[in-house]
Amino acid sequence: MRDKSNPEGQRVGVYVDGFNMYYGLRELGGRRFLWLDLLGMATRVLRPHQRLVGLNYFSAPIRDDPPATARQQVYLAALECSGARVVLGRFQEQKCRCRACGHKWRTYAEKQSDVALAAAMVDDVATGRVDAVMVVSADSDLCAAVHVIRRIDAVRGTKTRVVTAFPPRRRSESLRQVSDAWLPLGDAIVRQSQFPEVVCGPDGVEYRRPAYWN
């Protein structure tokens, strides 16, 4: 099996599990690291022979919390200004009931983001857009997508390098085992990869770090 080669360097696609990253950042430093420049972070961990050809961020719109929704929209706009591709799934309402007391409440489960991430990663490999993929997640469900990539390589006689970058305080032994390499995204890299206080869009619109995240 031969490695994919490119005269301009190994093309790397990055695929970020937004919710996995969010909760890892919250455990690492509360709200103070949420204004994270994902492209800057990805660029810092690439090797000299690699070049970033796309960063894809997968999440879902927050529901029933207008202030949180506004903060999320500002952050997503800042990500898009930096060059990231934002892909949004949805939250599905679920009704819960306590078996002991009968109390009922509703909650929301995030849907589609992990499937969209897996599909994007496999599509980029299958269509030859990337030579390597970096998965930013600790969701073991993504192992299935890695196995599909391995099958694509087996048919073509090529080798796509799969690297897993674990969000802060997150690990998956299953993902580690199916990856060619893995790394933790710790305090230092997260600190170094924060957006400036104000991110300016190409149309002159400014996106400011939410005060709640200070």
Number of domain units in the chain:
1
Q: How far apart are CA 78 and CA 117, in angstroms?
A: 20
User: What does the pLDDT profile of the chain (214 residues) look like in tens digits?
Assistant: 555 556 568 999 999 999 999 999 999 999 999 999 999 999 999 999 999 999 999 999 988 899 999 999 999 999 999 999 999 985 445 455 556 666 654 444 445 789 999 999 999 999 999 999 999 999 999 999 999 999 999 999 999 999 999 999 999 999 999 999 999 999 999 999 999 999 999 889 999 999 999 9
* Residue 72 located in a structural domain: yes
CATH number of 186's domain: 3.40.50.1010
* Residue 38 located in a structural domain: yes
Q: Which domain holds residue 106?
A: 12-209
* Residue 214 located in a structural domain: no
In eight-state DSSP terms, residue 194 is B
* Residue 1 located in a structural domain: no
pTM of the predicted structure, to 2 decimals:
0.88
* Residue 5 located in a structural domain: no
* Residue 6 located in a structural domain: no
